[in-house]
Structure 1
Amino acid sequence: MGLLVSLPEGIPDMAWVLLLLLPTACLQAGNTAESNRKKFYGFGQPTRISGVQGGSIEIPFFFYFSWELAEDPQMKIFWRWKHYHGEYIYNSSSGFIHEHFKDRLILNWTQPQISGVLRILVLKKKDQTVYFCRVHLKTTKGMESFQSINGTQLTVTPAFRTITKSPSIVTSAVTTAGLEDIEGQSSPSLVSLGATVGVVVATAVLITPIYVMLTFLWWKKRPAD
């Protein structure tokens, strides 16, 4: 039974570069292990990764083994989700992509590379789960396959949109609103004054002729001297 390895949480970027160089060293060590009749293989993925809803993420991976490959290794990369024995969502040999990920999965890997990257585009909330990479290959003694044990936990966070208004625009809007109020209606004090003046003028116009007529009649009826 071979030894499967999984990467610890929180591996820095520089450590990933060093880990990607690990397979070569492991293959060299495999020659020594072969003399002891021991087989070993390993797999590496980041423990956790996060992305924003609507954005995209990349899950890097690498693997190594001590088997001697056949002339035609027929290497294949598979991806599963949710749990170790979960549904397959990708198959590099057939081009199969799970319906949920239609047009959203891109595998950056070609045979005989022993490292690559899986990209998930236009992240959805339902993408939040664990992803496991699996490798199938042909050795001189037959087919072998192995898979990441812990996988990569993907966390998808909502994308919040913040709307901010420029202070100058807000001030302008308030000022304009004030001008519209002033232009749209007269001042209450001016309206009251105008109404009063109108009543006084109308009263004067009506009373003046009557007063003149009464004065004239009184003058005619007064006794003569």
Structure 2
Amino acid sequence: MALLVSHPGEMQAMTWILLLLLPAALQAGNSAGSNRGNYFGVNQPARLSGVQGGSIEIPFSFYFTWELAKDPQMRILWRWQHFYGELIYNSSSGFIHEHFKDRLILNWTQPQTSGVLRILDLKEKDQTVYFCRVHLNTKHGLEKWQSLVGTRLTITPRKHIPASTTMQSPSIVTSAVTTAGLEDTEGQRNPSLVNLGATVVVVVATAVLITPVCVMLIFLWWKKRPAD
């Protein structure tokens, strides 16, 4: 029997190699279970995109073949940045990462096996990978598993409105519109109405001038007529 001796440096290198290969091995196992032939798994979209300042929804679903305990105590947790990243949400304790304070909403209730994580007021730092993790009690004990590849979220900066296209003050716009409306109305007066008004003025003026003359002529005619 031969005794194998390894140097400390070689052991450290082998340890790192095994750690790097572990997610790949788990991924292979999960791929084999993509047809639900495996014992468990988590499904979520590989990529999503959102606009800075807007919101995004990450749908997820999970499956398993274990027989649940009488009180399964299902819990949904979320990690970000990488497979072993920090927890940002815990449905059982209500924990929310400080970065996401008042910005995370989980639409899921036990015993549903699908739901949606909604992120509000998207920020530039939110652009990373998100992993859904499931905890539940079975008749064989507590089981835990999570998505292997997660969902990579891309954030698009909101486009700024150029200064040259900035809208005027509402009061200025309203004033301009009102003035323009008055000018258009004056310019579009009915010509016949204008002519009729002018004619009436001329007739009245003529009547005022002629009436005294007519009265004087009638008086003279009456005075000069022969007496009976």
Report TM bin, short chain.
0.5 to 0.7
In structure 2, what is the Cα distance between the partners aligned to 1:129 and 1:165?
A: 34
Q: CA deviation at 1:131?
A: 0.2
When normalised by structure 1's length, the TM-score is: 0.58
Q: Could you say which residue in structure 2 is the equivalent of 1:47?
A: 46
Q: 1: distance between equivalents of 2:31 and 2:146? A: 10
Shift of 1:115: 0.2
Asked if the contact 1:4–1:148 (Cα under 8 Å) also holds between the matched residues in 2, the reply is: no
- Three-state SS of the structure 1 residue aligned to 2:99 is helix
- Contact 1:79 1:90 survives alignment (8 Å): yes
Aligned residue for 1:4, secondary structure, equals helix
Report the secondary structure of 2:106's partner residue. strand
> Paired residue for 2:57?
58
Aligned residue runs from structure 1 range 33-182, under 5 A: 40-163=39-162, 164=165
Of stretches 47-56 and 155-164 in structure 1, the one that deviates more from structure 2 is 155-164
**Cα drift, residue 150 of structure 1:** 0.2
Note if contact 1:97-1:105 (Cα within 8 Å) is conserved in structure 2: yes
**Alignment gaps of 5+ in structure 2:** 1-24, 168-172, 177-228
**Deviation readout 1:27-59 (Å, 9 max, x if unpaired):** xx7xxxxxxxxx611110000000000000000
Tell me if the contact between 1:106 and 1:120 (Cα under 8 Å) persists in the aligned partners.
yes
Output the CA distance in 1 between the equivalents of 2:40 and 2:101: 32
* TM-score normalised by L of structure 2: 0.57
Deviation at 1:165, TM superposition (A): 6.7
Decide whether the 8 Å contact of 1:69 with 1:138 is kept in 2. yes
4+ runs of 1 displaced by more than 4 Å? none
Q: 2:30 is matched with which residue?
A: 4
Q: Indicate if the aligned counterparts of 1:43 and 1:63 stay in contact, CA closer than 8 A.
A: yes
1:20-39 correspondence runs (5 A): 26=36
Q: Aligned partners of 2:48, 2:119: CA distance in 1, in Å?
A: 12
Flag structure 1 segments of 5+ consecutive residues without an equivalent: 9-21, 30-38, 173-225
CA distance in 2, matches of 1:54, 1:159: 7
Q: Once the two structures are aligned, what percentage of the paired residues are identical?
A: 66
Q: Is the 8 A contact 1:62 1:114 kept in 2?
A: yes
Counterparts of 2:132 and 2:121 in 1: how far apart (Å)? 20
Deviation readout 1:38-96 (Å, 9 max, x if unpaired): x6111100000000000000000000000000010010000000000000000000000
Matches of 2:166 and 2:69 in 1, distance apart? 65
Query: How far 1:5 sits from its partner (Å)?
Result: 4.4
Letter in 2 for 1:47: A
CA distance in 1, matches of 2:31, 2:60: 12
Distance 2:137 2:89 in 1: 19
Q: Is the 8 A contact 1:56 1:122 kept in 2?
A: yes
Please give the root-mean-square deviation of Cα atoms over the aligned residues, in Å.
2.5
